[in-house]
Structure 1
Amino acid sequence: MSTHAAGDDPFLGRPLIAGLAVVALLLTAANLRGGIVVVGPLVEQIRSSLAISASAFSLLTTLPLLCFGVISLCVPALSRRWSPQVLAIAGLLVIGLGVLLRLVNDYAVVLLGTLLLGAAIALLNVLIPGLVKAFFPRKVGLMTGLYSVTLSVGAGMGVYLAVPLLERFGHWHYPVALWAVLPLLCTLFWLPMLRVEGVGRPANPVRVSLWRDKLAWAITCYMGLQSFYFYSMATWMPKMLLESGLDAHDAGTATALINLVSIPFNFLVPIMAARLASQRRLVLGIFLASFTGLIGLWWQPAMAPLLWASLVGVGCGGALSLALSLFVLRAANTAQATALSAMAQSIGYLLAASGPVVLGMMRDVEGAWQGALLLMMALQCLQLGCGWYAARPAKVVPDQQK
């Protein structure tokens, strides 16, 4: 629920600039995953072109997650020096540069481009919740929902368009290059935002630290556990289903439902969250969907794979969009929202990078997936507890106010 007065709306009575702000935010969201996930369907072509091993190729998808974890912590300091609009433009330009470097047929240069890409996306990941609160203080639920949906759609486009563009133009450079051009176009919509008053760098910027706040830690743990859950399941569910007896087509179809089913929940959960003083009913519903899906995969994965995958998708999409909503709803101002987003996403994506590794190691040791799935169920219970605490109607309190 918003506590902002109408006068806090920087676009009051200015529908054109408000519309441009919506487009700028949503186009930015669409650019935050495509440049990373596009390499997945092109693995064989890229490995052949760069003459690299499978483990070397895996760095092209894991390095950005590590960048998310490390660079997120630097964003509040950057936002005290430059306005969020300037940082957003800089982030988009660096995304374009990073993707362009990934087109060079030299593995070291490709890794450099991957690091730049991950750093720029981390910057924008943290900035956007604060920008939503600053630009649309009375519509945080709607805008967070639209942002979450566009994030998922952008990731889907990156995967969906990769092979058709490869087949159309005959080289993997073309589908990758698309994600160097789109960020540059997006910057055009950000240029008018530089003139928006009341959203720039504060005149007397104060460092906001939330590391001693229990509510901030609850939100951080909720974000981290949902990230661990999503990346673990997205990585290993196809293998789980294949080993249960499904063929590759059915396993792939079921796994695709994780992202597809999550889209409506990406949109609806933030809207509902913004209308509720306490979001505990949402936390409980998300938990029940995830836990039921995990029980199904543990018990009889081949009996109803589409149902189990759909329930996992509900849990993944709902938990992510709720976490993004809490960054805004539990903060009193833009600086706090940015600090909370940085804290939660730094730890969240470091956990996310470890998830597939942990589950893979458990599978290798046990020779089956039951132990790994039991771990996921236990972590879902822990996520429920963190979400239950984070969903109570309260605001984070910076360390200097304690």
Structure 2
Amino acid sequence: MPASTAPPASTAPPATSGRALLVVGIVLVALNLRPALAGLGPLVADVRAATGLANAALGLLTTLPLLAFGVLSAFTPVVTRRLGVEGALGLALLLVGAGTALRAVPPTALLFVGTGVLGVGIALGNVLLPALVKRDFAERSGPMTALYSSAMGLGATAAAGAAVPLAGAVGWRGSLAAWAALAALALAVWLPQVRRRTLPRRRVRTLDALRDLGRSRLAWAVALFMGLQSLAFYVVLAWLPDLLHDRGLSAEAAGWMLALSQAAGIAGSAVVPLWAGRRGDQRRIIWALGGVEAVALAGLLAPAAGPALTGLWVGLLGLVLGGSFGLSLLFLAVRADTPETAAALSGMAQSVGYLVAAVGPFAFGALHDLTDGWTLPLLSLVGVLALKVAAGLPAARDGEVRRAAGGEGSP
């Protein structure tokens, strides 16, 4: 594969104090990758009433960041060649904070512009955290993946639970914009990492890397699994509160149900990568997650369920979606043979995956508009689950993507 020489990168781990600060920084970056998205779902009714947007357009507010993830993820190496991983993550936090704050500014068009800007920042963070873990914590991939994926879930949980109370105090625009303060805090803590930034050892052309990985069946399986689990996750994030509100819950109670699903997701994203990281083959885990998700969706398809049962189905769904997300992040590290391959695989998987996921919130909202109900949209998630298991089984088989060789390694 054509490559050009780049300044050598220092990949030696930082000293103990610097390593602790790096871990804190990773957690803070991860905390910022979901609040701007999770804080929208509980406020859909308020946004619709204030702006007159249709459900399909409201779904677009969740779809826009996913499109940014899909289009830009594969081209993250262009940014890291100039800024290094650390500098690119600093830029990610800056964009997340700026885009989040911009959503507080009228007119409605800036709601979409700010969402697009923060989507670019989240795309950078999504791709680079797995590569950073592979580079600096190669022997602790499972625990570190569990740590930062749990932090992502924690950020989503806090945003979902606080969205309606914040809106009561500062309005729905203020509620959406409040999370810019968390991005500013994270950026302040991350700045020492920017100063010690390292550049990649090799400067490989992005299109060459994509062509190389495109010949790997394992890379495609990882990408499709990531996309399908993300599709289900973002549909729940965007529409679960509105679904439950239509079934009689108050807006605040529906928001707390979303927070419950995200809190259960923290447990899933903490436990599943630790469980999966101890074994080379994770196919049994794929079957277990698929079975639990099927039970949860079947429960949500029964609209007569009371609050307790609804909470059970919501919690189970959040648990399995969090676990699937943590597993997809683990695949990006353990299915790659080097940190450079991990970065390329992360870019490809998240690019393909989020383009797949982007269909979800918009299509789910459109199906709801078309049928004026939730049965057909929920049945569509059952179909997504079947495809997810089909993609997850080959992704979970022991093996590695070896980019330089253009194919998979053997166990």
TM bucket by the smaller chain?
Answer: 0.7 to 0.9
Specify the code of the residue in structure 2 equivalent to 1:383. K
Specify the code of the residue in structure 2 equivalent to 1:323. S
Q: What corresponds to 1:355 in structure 2?
A: 360
Measured against aligned partners, the alpha-carbon deviations of 1:58-104 in whole angstroms (never above 9, x if no partner) come to: 54433222212211121133223431011111111222222333333
Measured against aligned partners, the alpha-carbon deviations of 1:224-275 in whole angstroms (never above 9, x if no partner) come to: 11112222344444565566x6544776665543222221111011112211
Q: What corresponds to 1:328 in structure 2?
A: 333
Structure 1 residue 123, shift from structure 2 partner: 0.9
Specify the code of the residue in structure 1 equivalent to 2:290. F
Measured against aligned partners, the alpha-carbon deviations of 1:285-342 in whole angstroms (never above 9, x if no partner) come to: 1111011222333467627323322222222111111001100110112221111112
Preserved CA contact (<8 Å) 1:83 1:200: yes
Structure 1 residue 178, shift from structure 2 partner: 3.5
Preserved CA contact (<8 Å) 1:34 1:157: yes
Specify the code of the residue in structure 2 equivalent to 1:284. W
Moved more, 20-29 or 389-398: 389-398
Task: Give the 3-state SS of the residue equivalent to 1:201 in structure 2.
Answer: coil
Specify the code of the residue in structure 1 equivalent to 2:183. P
Q: What corresponds to 2:225 in structure 1?
A: 222
State the alpha-carbon separation in 2 of the partners of residues 163 and 242 from structure 1: 13
Q: What corresponds to 2:216 in structure 1?
A: 213
What are the residue-to-residue correspondences of 1:50-199 with 2, within 5 Å?
A: 52-55=51-54, 59-168=60-169, 170-171=170-171, 174-194=174-194, 196=196
What are the residue-to-residue correspondences of 1:291-310 with 2, within 5 Å?
A: 291-298=294-301, 302=305, 304-310=309-315
State the alpha-carbon separation in 2 of the partners of residues 361 and 162 from structure 1: 24
Structure 1 residue 35, shift from structure 2 partner: 2.8
Structure 1 residue 38, shift from structure 2 partner: 3.3
Preserved CA contact (<8 Å) 1:21 1:189: no
Task: Calculate the TM-score normalised by the size of structure 2.
Answer: 0.83
Moved more, 52-61 or 276-285: 52-61
Q: What corresponds to 2:278 in structure 1?
A: 275
Preserved CA contact (<8 Å) 2:161 2:259: no
Shift in CA distance, 400/53, structure 1 to aligned 2, threshold 3 Å = farther
State the alpha-carbon separation in 1 of the partners of residues 254 and 34 from structure 2: 23
Preserved CA contact (<8 Å) 1:91 1:120: yes
* Structure 1: tracts of 5 or more residues without a match: 1-7
Task: Give the 3-state SS of the residue equivalent to 2:401 in structure 1.
Answer: coil
The correspondence for 1:10, drawn from 12, 16, 21, is: 12
* Structure 2: tracts of 5 or more residues without a match: 1-9
Structure 1 residue 367, shift from structure 2 partner: 6.0
CA RMSD of aligned residues (A): 3.0
Specify the code of the residue in structure 2 equivalent to 1:36. L
The correspondence for 1:262, drawn from 260, 265, 271, is: 265
Structure 1 residue 358, shift from structure 2 partner: 2.8
State the alpha-carbon separation in 1 of the partners of residues 108 and 298 from structure 2: 42
Preserved CA contact (<8 Å) 2:131 2:339: yes
Structure 1 residue 125, shift from structure 2 partner: 0.8
Task: Give the 3-state SS of the residue equivalent to 2:402 in structure 1.
Answer: coil
The correspondence for 2:287, drawn from 284, 289, 309, is: 284
Preserved CA contact (<8 Å) 1:96 1:179: yes
Preserved CA contact (<8 Å) 1:212 1:399: no
Q: What corresponds to 2:31 in structure 1?
A: 30
State the alpha-carbon separation in 1 of the partners of residues 190 and 216 from structure 2: 34
Structure 1 residue 378, shift from structure 2 partner: 3.2
Specify the code of the residue in structure 1 equivalent to 2:184. L
Preserved CA contact (<8 Å) 1:330 1:394: yes
Shift in CA distance, 63/362, structure 1 to aligned 2, threshold 3 Å = closer
Structure 1 residue 43, shift from structure 2 partner: 5.6
Shift in CA distance, 204/228, structure 1 to aligned 2, threshold 3 Å = closer
Aligned length: 388
Q: What corresponds to 2:348 in structure 1?
A: 343
Specify the code of the residue in structure 2 equivalent to 1:140. S
State the alpha-carbon separation in 1 of the partners of residues 177 and 371 from structure 2: 42
Preserved CA contact (<8 Å) 2:41 2:241: no
Specify the code of the residue in structure 2 equivalent to 1:286. L
Q: Do residues 318 (structure 1) and 298 (structure 2) align?
A: no
Q: What corresponds to 1:5 in structure 2?
A: none
Specify the code of the residue in structure 2 equivalent to 1:211. G
State the alpha-carbon separation in 2 of the partners of residues 115 and 95 from structure 1: 10
Q: What corresponds to 1:388 in structure 2?
A: 393
Specify the code of the residue in structure 1 equivalent to 2:270. F
Shift in CA distance, 108/380, structure 1 to aligned 2, threshold 3 Å = closer
Shift in CA distance, 112/389, structure 1 to aligned 2, threshold 3 Å = same
Shift in CA distance, 301/122, structure 1 to aligned 2, threshold 3 Å = farther
